Amino acid sequence: MQKANKTIQKDCVRPLLKWYRTHARDLPWRRTHDPYAIWISEIMLQQTQVTTVIPYWERWMKEIPTIQALAEASEQTILKLWEGLGYYRRARMLHKAAKMTCDRYQGNFPQDHETILSLPGIGPYTAGAIASIAFDQPKPILDGNVIRVLTRYYSIKSNPKDRETQNQLWGLADHWVHQADLMRPRTAGNCSHLNQSIMELGATICLPGNLAQCNKCPLSKTCGANMTSQVANLPNLPKRRAVVQQQRFVYVLKYNDRYLMQQKGTDEHNEGLWEFYNTDSPVIMSPEEALQFCLETLQKKGIQVSTFSILTTIKHTITHHRITLHCFEGSLTEKPSSQLADGKWVTIKTLKAHPMPSAHQKLRSIILG
Ligand code: SF4
């Protein structure tokens, strides 16, 4: 399957490196070789669009410019800087890995691929990205963009999520980056640029479905899918899981100009973040039905409210879950004791200082006007 080395260099590596020199987007983390800065960008870019990540990365690097600073930062500071990016486990793992790096490697980011891979929150993709981009090592990367380019280039029709196909794709990615390393004359940055060029091609040219712009692609003359008109059919990904509808109730409860907040506990979704009091919905309801249900729930708990009304409805998606949040606001006539004991009453002034998941941030914005 693998083409001869010279052919790969001529057909793929050289055209990609040349294309990358003139077409790479000017992204802030591409102006540095600092492994810490590259690591932060790679973790932020998981599941998140480049345009969303840029301001987050810039703010992060300003506030926490070194791995030592990250190790010493509080979890609340980190979560606050991550607020809105979602998948908060990524931020907690960064914190853990920074502490480990300071303890074991005196704060020097390890250069060895196996050691990078041993850090919390770093999988094969991220380890390959850091080793190749920061240290110019011939280590492969395989993410959704690279999978799309390789399956199309080699007309691989099997499901790329299957283990055998995954192994094949890692092997191909490894082969390409090694050929970049073996190019003579060897230019500094060959491995870094080769890997980034494949990702860049997948992100900007080799787009999903029939959005691919093969006429602009440096691989078009030798790409299997392009030559056999199979571009839109590859990669052959499994069908998406059926969508599951869910509802939750959010109670924005106010007492004496303070709002009731709860911090998510260890191993809970959104661990460490703050949310307005919320509960699961037993069945799918309209906002009006939900209002009545929630009012009765408060009454059953002995919580007396002087006002209780619909605040807003928020819809959001997490993987295949479509979640509707029915949000209500109420003013309490007296501070409840045990029923909501695990909560904290937060003044409107300090609401902003609490890191919150996106939906609750929206509610905070409504409250703060
Ligand atoms: S020729 Fe088309 S399908 Fe092939 S790698 Fe380029 S953009 Fe993707």
Ranges of CATH 3.90.79.10 domains, the chain? 244-368
Amino acid at 325: L
Query: Does CATH number 1.10.340.30 belong to domain 5-141+163-196?
Result: yes
Tell me, yes or no, if 200 is annotated catalytic: no
Can you tell me the mean pLDDT for 164-179? Answer: 98
On the question of pLDDT at 343 being above 90, the answer is no
Upstream peptide bond of 35 is cis (omega within 30 degrees of 0): no
Whether 198 is in the pocket of ligand 1, judged by its Cβ within 6 Å, is no
pTM of the full structure: 0.90
**151-165 pLDDT, tens digit each:** 999 999 999 999 999
Can you tell me the mean pLDDT for 69-94? Answer: 96
Mean pLDDT of the chain: 94
**Between residues 337 and 20, the one the model is more confident about:** 20
pLDDT at site 40: 98
If one residue of 151, 153, 176 were mutated to test the ligand 1 pocket, choosing by the most ligand atoms within 8 A of its CB, it would be 153
On the question of pLDDT at 138 being above 70, the answer is yes
What confidence tier does 272 reach under pLDDT thresholds 50, 70, 90? very high
On the question of pLDDT at 1 being above 70, the answer is no
Contact 156, 168 (CB under 8 A): yes
On the question of pLDDT at 340 being above 80, the answer is no
What confidence tier does 103 reach under pLDDT thresholds 50, 70, 90? very high
pLDDT at site 290: 96
Could you give the percent of the chain with pLDDT greater than 70?
A: 97
CA of 223 to the centre of ligand 1 (A): 6
pLDDT at site 339: 55
Whether 19 is in the pocket of ligand 1, judged by its Cβ within 6 Å, is no
On the question of pLDDT at 4 being above 80, the answer is no
pLDDT at site 334: 86
What confidence tier does 56 reach under pLDDT thresholds 50, 70, 90? very high
Classify 174 as helix, strand or coil. helix
On the question of pLDDT at 338 being above 70, the answer is no
Can you tell me the mean pLDDT for 80-95? Answer: 96
CATH of 244-368, one of 3.10.450.50, 3.90.79.10, 3.30.2390.10, 1.40.20.10: 3.90.79.10
Rounded (10°) angle between helices 35-45 and 89-105:
160
pLDDT at site 91: 97
> Which ligand 1 atom is nearest residue 216's CA?
7
pLDDT at site 240: 85
* In the block, residue with structure tokens 């992204």: 27
Can you tell me the mean pLDDT for 33-55? Answer: 97
> Which ligand 1 atom is nearest residue 220's CA?
1
DSSP 39-103: HHHHHHHTTS-HHHHHHHHHHHHHHS-SHHHHHHS-HHHHHHHHTTS--THHHHHHHHHHHHHHH
Can you tell me the mean pLDDT for 112-122? Answer: 98
Cβ atoms within 10 Å of 178's Cβ, excluding its own: 17
What confidence tier does 6 reach under pLDDT thresholds 50, 70, 90? confident
Terminal CA-CA length for the chain: 61
> Which ligand 1 atom is nearest residue 201's CA?
7
CA of 3 to the centre of ligand 1 (A): 17
CA of 219 to the centre of ligand 1 (A): 6
Dist. CA 274–CA 316, nearest whole Å = 18
Dist. CA 220–CA 147, nearest whole Å = 16
* In the block, residue with structure tokens 């990524």: 90
Cβ atoms within 10 Å of 241's Cβ, excluding its own: 9
**For atom 5 of ligand 1, which residue has the closest CA?**
149
H-helix or E-strand spanning residue 276: strand 274-280
Can you tell me the mean pLDDT for 318-333? Answer: 93
> Which ligand 1 atom is nearest residue 205's CA?
7
33: nearest Cα among 126, 162, 132, 122: 132
**Between residues 53 and 185, the one the model is more confident about:** 53
Q: For CA atoms 227, 230, 232, 235, give the dihedral sign.
A: negative
CA of 142 to the centre of ligand 1 (A): 17
**275-317 pLDDT, tens digit each:** 999 999 999 999 999 999 999 999 988 888 999 999 999 999 8
**228-271 pLDDT, tens digit each:** 999 999 999 988 889 999 999 999 999 998 999 999 998 888 99
169 token code pair: 């794709």
